[in-house]
Amino acid sequence: MTGKNVLIVYAHQEPKSMNGSLKNIAVDVFSKQGCNVTVSDLYTMKFNAAATRSDITGDLCNPQHFSYSIETKEAFKKGCLSEDILEEQRKVHEADLIIFQFPLYWFSFPAIMKGWIDRVFVQGFAFDFPGCYDTGLLKGKIALLSFTTGGTEDMFSKEGVKGDVKYLLWPIQHGILHFCGFQVLAPQISYAPEYVAEAKRRDMLIKWAQRLENIWEEPPIDCTPSWYFH
Ligand SMILES: Cc1cc2nc3c(=O)[nH]c(=O)nc-3n(C[C@H](O)[C@H](O)[C@H](O)COP(=O)(O)OP(=O)(O)OC[C@H]3O[C@@H](n4cnc5c(N)ncnc54)[C@H](O)[C@@H]3O)c2cc1C
């Protein structure tokens, strides 16, 4: 797998966190494989999560009635998006595999990561009409969600208090990643690291490292409703 490009989009404030450890393991394993690994460490970068007019550096198409979709689409074509967005788009463009590493916040990404998606995956770059789902503009790339939870695996089962974890994966894996053309690998979910014993946490980290050894051979999931809502 020498020469493959891996981008890890990482959202945790604390390097010594479980998320920090999961991210470090991925960096180690891929580096040993000879991959080129890039980490977008969103909190350290102080990544701006807000989608605003400032994301367009040139003249607006319609300053009287601002539309983020229209303006960013046109700005992308003209190369007039702000430099922080262009930099992240360059990383995405080069990546063969993107791993999103984050703690689950309110059944979703932390806001800083959602903001990264809002601002980086603009129309014309990540998708278009036509040019979405199986023909999404990021097709040929692989994506994987690796996240930790507060709730236990039982809570995230179909009968559990939170419901099947797959229900909350639908908007992210299907609504964002599949929409943009990614092939989506099964998520890596590290359940309730705060509430388990040290040995169990170490086991989670070992399992992640073992999975990453063979990640390039893994088939993507079938990103259709039947995978989520069986
Ligand atoms: C705003 C908000 C919303 C939330 N919403 C939800 C929700 O909707 N659903 C839900 O289930 N949860 C939710 N949570 C809980 C959240 O998902 C968990 O707190 C988080 O996933 C825990 O991961 P962490 O990396 O922050 O853990 P940490 O607390 O950083 O780590 C857990 C433990 O792992 C230890 N550790 C780190 N590295 C190693 C290592 N290498 N070896 C052994 N141990 C190690 C740490 O020392 C620590 O003791 C929410 C939390 C917040 C703040």
Structure tokens at 6: 């891996």
Q: What percent of the chain has pLDDT over 90?
A: 98
CA pair distance 20, 107, nearest whole angstrom: 20
- Cβ–ligand 1 distance for 110 under 6 Å, the answer no
Which pLDDT score, from 0 to 100, does residue 107 have?
98
Amino acid 8: pLDDT: 99
pLDDT of residue 230: 81
What fold is seen in the domain 5-228? Rossmann fold (3.40.50)
C-beta 198 within 6 A of ligand 1: yes
Q: Which atom of ligand 1 is nearest to the CA of 24?
A: 41
pLDDT at 34: 98
Tell me the pLDDT tens digit for each residue of 112-166: 999 999 999 999 999 999 999 999 999 999 999 999 999 999 999 999 999 999 9
Cβ neighbourhood burial of 104 (10 Å; 0-12, 13-18, 19+): buried
Q: Which residue has the least CA distance to atom 42 on ligand 1?
A: 202
Report how far residue 37's alpha carbon sits from residue 124's, in angstroms, rounded to the nearest whole number.
26
| Model pLDDT for residues 191-203, shown as the tens digit of each residue | 999 999 999 999 9
In b/e form, how buried is each residue of 170-199, taking b as 16+ CB within 10 angstroms? eebbbebbbbbbbbbbebbbbbbbeeeeee
| Residue 175 confidence class, pLDDT cut points 50, 70, 90 | very high
Q: Residue ranges per domain, the chain?
A: 5-228
d(C-alpha 155, C-alpha 159), whole Å: 8
Average pLDDT score over the chain: 97
Kindly report, residue by residue over 202-227, the tens digit of the pLDDT: 999 999 999 999 999 999 999 999 99
pLDDT tens figures, 84-104: 999 999 999 999 999 999 999
Q: What is the pLDDT of residue 15?
A: 98
Q: What is the pLDDT of residues 110-123, one digit of tens each?
A: 999 999 999 999 99
158 CA to middle of ligand 1, Å? 22
Q: Tell me the HSE value of 87 on the side-chain side, using a 13 A CA sphere.
A: 12
Q: Which residues pair with 56 in a beta bridge?
A: 81
Q: Which long-range contacts (CB under 8 A, 24 or more apart) does 200-203 make?
A: 201/18
Q: Is 23 close to ligand 1, i.e. is its CB under 6 Å away?
A: no
Q: Give residue 199 CA to ligand 1 midpoint distance, Å.
A: 16
Query: Is the pLDDT at 33 greater than 90, yes or no?
Result: yes
